Amino acid sequence: MSKVSYDLKKDSEVQAALRCGEAFQRLAEELIPRIGSAKEESSQAMSNELGDIVVCAANLAFAIELYSKALLMLLDLKVPQVHNLRVLYDTIPQPVRELIESVYETAWPDQARQLRGRVSVTLAKGPREEPLWDDYTKESLALPDLLARSKNLFQSWRYIFEFRQPNDSSYQFHQFEYGLLWCAAEAIKAEIKVRSVEMRSTSSKFSF
């Protein structure tokens, strides 16, 4: 009799993380069109879209974190007890990251077209004068670099109303690359679903 071990407890935990991640992502996805249509403005008062941006950023950060942790569980790897998105991603083995990045590289150009080229928003908090903005066209759009820039996405946006002036600038900058991060979430989620199906298929074939 041939047997392949199928860990029901692990599968249950993976599916729970996946379902929660999908719920967070759905909430974020509903807000992306509003963020993309937000007007550029300079004001001492917070724009009406600020709440949408914060909620979207927090939920998308949760989704990517849960997908990354679910995938690590599925791969029987120790899950780091952190919220840092880049640390979690780097824990995934390189061959698996290459598969994820292949899906991401295919997805983001289509997403950028759907959003009419607007895939990121930056908030500058500080003096009334226009700050010196970074040239976003020079940023690497590769998934590891995106997650490095967004590693503390949840922490940086959840208390956006607080201002702590940085040592090297009069402004506090918050960047949210919503279009690209949505593609990152989709790519990691897709890898979880493919591997979950393969694991169940293997178990059904060899357990009798």
pLDDT tens-digit readout, 126-172: 777 877 777 777 889 999 999 999 999 998 888 777 767 667 778 88
Interatomic CA distance for residues 86 and 167, integer angstroms: 25
**In this model, does residue 79 exceed pLDDT 70?**
yes
Span 29-69, pLDDT tens digits: 999 998 887 766 555 545 668 889 999 999 999 999 999 99
CA distances from 120 to 58, 111, 139, 165 (A): 15, 12, 11, 23
Task: Report the candidate in 197, 162, 184 with the shortest Cα–Cα distance to residue 28.
Answer: 184
Number of domains in the chain: 1
Question: Does residue 133 belong to any structural domain of this protein?
Answer: no
Entry pTM: 0.86
Give domain status of residue 80, yes or no: yes
In a domain, 132, yes or no: no
> Running DSSP on this structure, what letter comes out for residue 129?
S
Beta strands in the chain (DSSP E): 121-125, 172-176
Residue % of the chain over a pLDDT of 90: 59
CA distance 165 to 169: 7
Is 131 contained in some domain? no
pLDDT of residue 40: 63
2 falls within a domain: no
In a domain, 130, yes or no: no
Amino acid at 74: L
Provide the pLDDT for residue 137: 75
Residue 95 identity: P
Biggest alpha carbon–alpha carbon distance for the chain = 75
Q: Tell me what pLDDT residue 4 has.
A: 44
CB 99 within 8 A of CB 191: yes
Specify the DSSP class assigned to residue 48: T
Per-residue model confidence (pLDDT) at position 204? 53
- Domain coverage including residue 157: 8-125+139-206
pLDDT value of position 34: 87
For residue 1, is pLDDT > 60? no
pLDDT of residue 46: 53
Confidence tier at 105 by pLDDT (50, 70, 90): very high
Q: Which has the minimum average pLDDT: 10-24, 165-179, 182-196?
A: 165-179
